[in-house]
Amino acid sequence: MIKKARKLGRGVAIVGAGMSKFGTFRGMSGRDLVVEAFKEMRASVDKGFDPNDIEALYVGNLSSDLFEGQAHTAPIIADWLGMIPKPATRIEDACASSGVALREGIIAIASGLYDIVLVAGVEKMTDLPTERVTDTLAAAADAIYELPAGFTFPGLYAAIATAHMKKYGTKIEHFMKVAIKNHDNGALNPKAQFNSSIRDIMASRMKKAEERGQPVPAWRDEMDFLNDPQANPIIAWPMRLFDCSPITDGAACILLAAEEIAKNFTDNPIYIIGAGQASDVALHQREDLTSITAAKVAAQQAYEMAGVKPQDIQIAEVHDCFTIAEIVATEDLGFFNPGEAPKAVEDGIMARDGAKPINTSGGLKSKGHPVGASGAGQVVEIWSQMRGEAGARQVRGKDITLALTHNVGATGGTCVVHIYERR
Amino acid sequence: MEQREFSGASFYQFLGEGKLMASRCKKCGTLYLPPKPLCTRCYSNEMEWAQMKGKGKLAAFTTIAVAPTLMMEEGYGRDNPYCTGVVELEEGPKISARILGVDAKKPEEIEVGTPLTVEFVERGEGEQKKTFLAFRA
Ligand SMILES: [Zn+2]
């Protein structure tokens, strides 16, 4: 096998980033959501820029085909952004679609072909009834060998959870603590679908019961609420409702520029210094069911390119489509030894004020998971945190100069990792 | 049977005949389950079918309450969850399968490592008949 050190042909920087609100938006199509994200991205470019200078568009999207009955969505989005006749390309790698779109945009600039590229991610999921959303997402698994066994998307991650529980003694309470943490962060994110902590949700349910003259549930604390099968029903054991990311509409946009012209846009660009991507087999074909090999390989590539180690990373947005996924992700990225992420969650290390803040945005769990937009959405959070613009959820007491995103397609068939630097 | 394509269609056709079949590289002996038409280890095109004994153990599982359309049509759902999992065969390969003989309403009592035996689940009639892979505890 040919092995060589991977590096970019020239430097690439993020000079603008923005996202639509994540949630349920009746009457808005995918293209409308991208326009929302584009407007915010445009406003984020400190020195302004002429949209006509964008040379190409890369769009991450899982299934506008099934969700919206719309294939060939990239040129339509290009039209809505005024980019015709520039090249527009859609990238589909399940939930890693826009993480990979970002990578393709970076490669296009690094190659010297373009100087300014727009990366977008979008998914409009809520027009379909829940059962059909479940089927559409499940189509990202192996349709010949996994789906006939009755597997769903939550079911596959639930299976990873049982393997992790068996091998490392991980408890259901650890999963719940990931949910509590990410909801705490999401409560401070005005763009989040669940802009509320678990405590807020408990309080609002108690109030509603009282207003309706129904018996008011007497939950002692968040864990008591999450253990209540009425409040938190099983989706695919051991994953309950509050272990699963929601069904979400949303879009995000990132403006990339060649390093040598980045300062024309802002005095404070965020440089991409590491990039990695890898693939893996279906879950049942893996030797170890407690880890995602593609994530380890992609992370290794990114760390090597950046010349940094896992312990150097100050904050990260990782792919928490399910609570178990955040535990596996932080182990695969080398932040914790295999089997030790559950304890790290318990000890508050991944909290916003902990040693290694993870998913300060609220993660996919609380911010929402518009599958094709999730990877680009992670980058918007890193952009805000690194520039000190994250408002109430800004990580305090750290000058953030090194950050990472980790975006997974389905159960890890695809993983893409990027490392960011502020100079 | 040697002549069948190394495909998903053949895999399910074999299940209908009560056989769990993998493909094996004639050159390097690598076993593929699901069956592959090409040895992706040595790139030989020379493959043969190999019948699995149908014995294994549970490597990972879940009990599903929010079911996909396929399983809802069989009557599964919120009030009637089912168990599905990854089974590690004695021969080495792992495969996704429905898990029978466990109480899907008591998932905390189901154990990774439980010994399992293959079973072939038939659904539908005549032309519509399909066979699914299952393992029983
Ligand atoms: Zn071979």
Contacts of A1 in chain B (CB under 8 A): none
Task: Report the pLDDT value the prediction gives residue A142, as an integer from 0 to 100.
Answer: 95
DSSP state of A404: E
pLDDT tens digits along A210-223: 999 999 998 999 99
Same domain as B64, residue B35: no
Spell out which residues have Cβ within 5 A of ligand 1, the ion.
Answer: B 25, 27-28, 30, 39, 41-42, 44
Q: Report yes or no on B38 lying in a domain.
A: yes
State yes or no: is A321 an active-site residue: no
Question: Is B98 in the same domain as B66?
Answer: yes
* Structure confidence at residue B27 (pLDDT): 97
Domain shared by B63 and B93, yes or no: yes
Split at pLDDT 50, 70, 90, the class of A130 is confident
Is B84–A150 a contact, with Cβ atoms under 8 angstroms apart?
A: yes
Q: What is the DSSP letter of A149?
A: G
Whether B32 maps to a domain, the answer reads: yes
A284 classed as catalytic = no
- Nearest by CB to residue A284, choosing from B12, B94, B98, is B94
Q: Are residues B122 and B77 in the same domain?
A: yes
- Dist. CA B41 → ligand 1 center (Å): 5
Dist. CA A276–CA A301, nearest whole Å: 5
* Closest residue of chain B to A171, computed from CA coordinates: B108
Which of B36, B64, B79, B130 is the best mutation test for A, with the most CBs of A within 10 A?
B64
Contact call for A162 and B68, based on CB within 8 A = no
Query: How many domains is chain B built from?
Result: 2
> Are B43 and B16 part of one and the same domain?
yes
pLDDT tens-digit profile of A272-326?
999 999 999 999 999 999 999 999 999 999 999 999 999 999 999 999 999 999 9
The verdict on residue B2 lying in a domain is: no
User: Is the confidence metric ipTM above 0.90 for this complex?
Assistant: yes
Asked if A88 contacts A98 with a C-beta cutoff of 8 angstroms, the reply is no
Q: Which amino acid, A368?
A: G
For the ranges A86-100, A131-145, A253-267, A329-343, the lowest mean pLDDT is seen at A131-145
Final residue belonging to a domain, choices B32, B51, B70: B51
One domain, residues B61 and B40: no
Domain-embedded: residue B129:
yes
Tell me the pLDDT band of A135, cut-offs 50, 70 and 90. Answer: confident
Contacts 24+ apart (CB under 8 A), B123-129: B123/B74, B129/B16
Same domain for B128 and B74, yes or no, is yes
Classify residue B1: in a domain, yes or no.
no
Mean pLDDT of A396-409: 96
Segment A243-250 mean pLDDT: 97
A243: nearest Cα among A183, A179, A181: A179
CA A19 to chain B, closest CA, distance in angstroms equals 31
**Nearest Cα to Cα of residue A75 among A67, A65, A66, A83:** A83
pLDDT of residue A134: 87
Domain containing residue B32: 8-51
Listed residue (A95, A169, A173, A180) closest to A350, CA to CA = A180
Contact indicator for A408, A62 with CB cutoff of 8 Å: no
Residue B3 within any structural domain of the chain: no
Is the same domain home to B29 and B77? no
Q: Are B65 and B131 found together in one domain?
A: yes
What's the pLDDT at B68? 92
Q: Residue B44 C-alpha to ligand 1 middle, in angstroms?
A: 5
Domain co-membership, B35 together with B65 = no
Q: Select from A146, A148, A160 the Cβ nearest to the Cβ of B60.
A: A160
Does this model's pTM top 0.90? My answer is: yes
Whether A245 shows a pLDDT value over 90: the answer reads yes
In this structure, are B80 and B33 located in the same domain? Answer: no
Give B17's strand partners.
Answer: none
